[in-house]
Amino acid sequence: MAKRRARGGPKAAGGPSKGSAITRGTASTLPNRQLPENKKPGHYRSASKIRLLHMYNSKPKWLRPGGKEPQPLAPARIQPDRRWFGNTRVIDQQKLSEFRENIQKASADPYTVVLRRSKLPMSLINDGNVGGKKEALAAGGALPKLSGEALLAIEPFEGVFGSKKTRKRPRLQAADLATLALQVGSCLCLQLKYSGLQHFEPAENSLCGCGARCMQAEEKEAAFQKSISAGDVPANGAGEGGPVELIFQKGTSRRIWGELYKVIDSSDVLVQVVDARDPMGTRCRRLEKYLKAHRSSKHLVLVINKVDLVPPRVARYWLQQLSKEMPTLLLQADKNKKNFGRTQLFQLLRQYGQLLSDRKHVSIGFFGYPNVGKSSIINFLKSKQVCKAAPIPGQTRVWQYVALTSKLYLIDCPGIVPISSDAGTDTDKVMRGVVRPERISAPEEHIGTVLEKVKREAIVARYGLDSKISWEDAEEFLSILAVRLGKLKKGGEPDISTAARIMLYDLQRGKLPYYVLPPCLEAEVAEAAAEADGTPLDGAMAVPEGDALKLDGSYSGDLADKEEINDCEEEDGIQRPDSDTQQEAPEVSGSAAAASTSEPNKRARIESSNSS
């Protein structure tokens, strides 16, 4: 017979609690189940875990019996009203058109700085020259890369696809990869680019992307090769036929240009340094076009260095001409001579630092031809040796950061030589300081051009030759110079190669003065020479009167002659300073770029002072 449970004994698991008639279950699907006796909660599912499993196993209401499938709602659109979008950048077409005109005017003015470019709708402003691209397309050229709106403005979608199309098939450059590879292989521009030949001028709107004048380049190259085979044109441009020396490819390597593009990407302001003796020959015009087209946010400044090697009148005229294109300064970066231009350059860089106040640091990159004085200018601004500098090309190998102030940083760049027709012949590269004379295999081939560019009086004064001595050609002069310097070979034969290298060294270091006249002075010099003896005078050989030549190759004279500067003001209307010792830095102002904001001061102009 079964025993009965005594009253007050232990109750069964899941039984009703004291004073309750409801018994809670112990099933694993109940969130509020009662655990068995002597069991800890850690070994069983929690209430939240059970609810999560119920959610996974359940179905939405519309899938349950009797449920209705929900219908998609109509798209809701909110009117772009200023009442609802007051703090967003909303602009109508009229304001956008006015703003586009202001931006174009500001971009055309080199002395205007656009402020807060990050807040401007530049994609709506810079749609490109649609009219010019239409003309290029009508002429049969390839269509450049365009944005969507500009592309539809030239050729609408309905004109290519659909029932109203006006042509049978879209304009494609290649139907398959084989055709595209054939086009690239037959492109002469690419062949010339990688073969080292530079006798062609690239242009835009071409099939290959590197020049629309492919046929002209082909004709030029064919004529060039024919003349070389006939022996009429030298292959190295120096004076005799022969293979191109690798030394004249300095400054054109992929590594050097990689360093340059690092400097461009890291800089807010770019300073191009040119030689005062040949400013146009040491300018990188292709790089300037690239910066204006693809890096319009970079501010470009031109610095004419080594002004002590040219007459003051020539330096003033170069400043007058180049200041119309971009902010231009004259500089003499030589710590051993008179301080000229340092204050003005520092003031100009400080203006850019104040205009770009939204940036924590402002980086200024220096670029240009080798041996134009980029590292010397940085040392000149810092007043101490922070960059390795030498009067020979190729001293700077990699880019280098230098802190000028707490906000301004200077970046030094290796010298670059653009691969274009502006680079000139090999002799031009030697005279511009691109190549070291000791590495030239035949330096005597370049002396003929040097004798044409440098005045005879300067050569006689430099080497202490007899003023009555004369020579017929470069070889005879080098023989005389070698005997004068004591450079002889065995048997007393003059060593003309060593004498030629010495002369090229003196030319590059400024001990033999030569310079190129600006266009405004060439006509004046030609008239004066014609009135004198009826024979034209080479502009590079002429020294304007009133500028005394020193034995070290520099010129004496006041660079800020008040009377001649006033004459320049009457010619071009450019304001010049009245100071007797200093020049004024070009004005830099902020444009009305922040037209979408309500700031009252939209155009900030900071005047430079003459105090250091």
Give per-residue pLDDT as tens, 494-513: 898 899 999 998 888 888 88
Long-range contacts of 202-211 (CB under 8 A, 24+ apart): 202/420, 204/136, 204/144, 205/136, 205/139, 205/141, 205/142, 205/144, 206/141, 206/142, 207/141, 207/142, 207/173, 207/183, 208/183, 208/184, 209/142
From 447, 480, 508, the end of a domain falls on: 508
Residue 165 CA to residue 324 CA, distance in Å, equals 49
Cα–Cα distances (Å) from 222 to 197, 207, 210, 352, in that order, read 12, 21, 19, 49
Q: Note the pLDDT of residue 364.
A: 94
Q: Note the pLDDT of residue 266.
A: 92
Please indicate, yes or no, whether residues 211 and 317 belong to a single structural domain of this protein: no
Please indicate, yes or no, whether residues 276 and 410 belong to a single structural domain of this protein: yes
Going by pLDDT thresholds of 50, 70 and 90, the confidence category of residue 268 is very high
Please indicate, yes or no, whether residues 289 and 373 belong to a single structural domain of this protein: yes
Please indicate, yes or no, whether residues 381 and 280 belong to a single structural domain of this protein: yes
Please indicate, yes or no, whether residues 274 and 402 belong to a single structural domain of this protein: yes
Name the residue with tokens 């190729």: 394
For the chain, what is the domain count? 3
Q: Note the pLDDT of residue 530.
A: 54
Residues 440 and 501 sit within 8 Å (Cβ to Cβ): yes
Query: Mean pLDDT in the chain?
Result: 71
Portion of the chain with pLDDT greater than 70, in percent: 61
Whether 168 is in a domain gets the answer no
What mean pLDDT do residues 541-568 have? Answer: 47
Residue 409 CA to residue 379 CA, distance in Å, equals 13
Q: Which of 145-149, 485-489, 562-566, 601-605 has the highest mean pLDDT?
A: 485-489
Q: Note the pLDDT of residue 190.
A: 52
Q: Note the pLDDT of residue 275.
A: 92
Whether 395 is in a domain gets the answer yes
Pick the residue with more confidence: 467 or 171?
467
Please indicate, yes or no, whether residues 494 and 349 belong to a single structural domain of this protein: no
State the number of CA atoms in the 13 A half-sphere of 468 facing the CB.
Answer: 0
From 508, 523, 541, the end of a domain falls on: 508
Return the closest-CA partner of residue 287 out of 307, 308, 263, 309: 263
Q: Note the pLDDT of residue 3.
A: 52
Q: Note the pLDDT of residue 327.
A: 92
Pick the residue with more confidence: 20 or 496?
496
Q: Is the pLDDT of residue 130 over 80?
A: no
Q: Note the pLDDT of residue 257.
A: 86
Whether 485 is in a domain gets the answer yes
Pick the residue with more confidence: 211 or 381?
381
Whether 541 is in a domain gets the answer no
Structural domain containing residue 458: 423-508
Residue 116 CA to residue 96 CA, distance in Å, equals 17
What mean pLDDT do residues 188-203 have? Answer: 47
Whether 450 is in a domain gets the answer yes
Going by pLDDT thresholds of 50, 70 and 90, the confidence category of residue 471 is confident
Please indicate, yes or no, whether residues 323 and 428 belong to a single structural domain of this protein: no
Q: Note the pLDDT of residue 603.
A: 34
Residue 304 CA to residue 277 CA, distance in Å, equals 9
Cα–Cα distances (Å) from 82 to 79, 85, 388, 600, in that order, read 9, 5, 59, 21
Please indicate, yes or no, whether residues 293 and 274 belong to a single structural domain of this protein: yes
State the number of CA atoms in the 13 A half-sphere of 410 facing the CB.
Answer: 24
Residue 104 CA to residue 327 CA, distance in Å, equals 18
Whether 445 is in a domain gets the answer yes
Buried b or exposed e, range 531-545, using 16+ CB within 10 angstroms: eeeeeebebbbbbbe
Please indicate, yes or no, whether residues 399 and 359 belong to a single structural domain of this protein: yes
Going by pLDDT thresholds of 50, 70 and 90, the confidence category of residue 212 is very low
Pick the residue with more confidence: 464 or 520?
464
Whether 557 is in a domain gets the answer no
Point out which residues pair with 304 in neighbouring strands: 274, 330
Please indicate, yes or no, whether residues 369 and 276 belong to a single structural domain of this protein: yes
Q: Note the pLDDT of residue 90.
A: 67
Portion of the chain with pLDDT greater than 90, in percent: 11
Q: Note the pLDDT of residue 269.
A: 94
**AA identity, residue 379:** N
| CATH of residue 439 | 1.10.1580
Residue 256: phi and psi, rounded to 5, are -65, -45
Residues 351 and 606 sit within 8 Å (Cβ to Cβ): yes
| CATH of residue 300 | 3.40.50.300
What mean pLDDT do residues 376-389 have? Answer: 86
**AA identity, residue 267:** S
Residue 473 CA to residue 450 CA, distance in Å, equals 11
The DSSP output letter for 4 is P
Q: Note the pLDDT of residue 300.
A: 92
Whether 292 is in a domain gets the answer yes
Going by pLDDT thresholds of 50, 70 and 90, the confidence category of residue 62 is confident
From 508, 525, 548, the end of a domain falls on: 508
Going by pLDDT thresholds of 50, 70 and 90, the confidence category of residue 169 is low
Please indicate, yes or no, whether residues 412 and 427 belong to a single structural domain of this protein: no
Residue 514 CA to residue 595 CA, distance in Å, equals 50
Please indicate, yes or no, whether residues 466 and 341 belong to a single structural domain of this protein: no
Name the residue with tokens 């691209």: 133
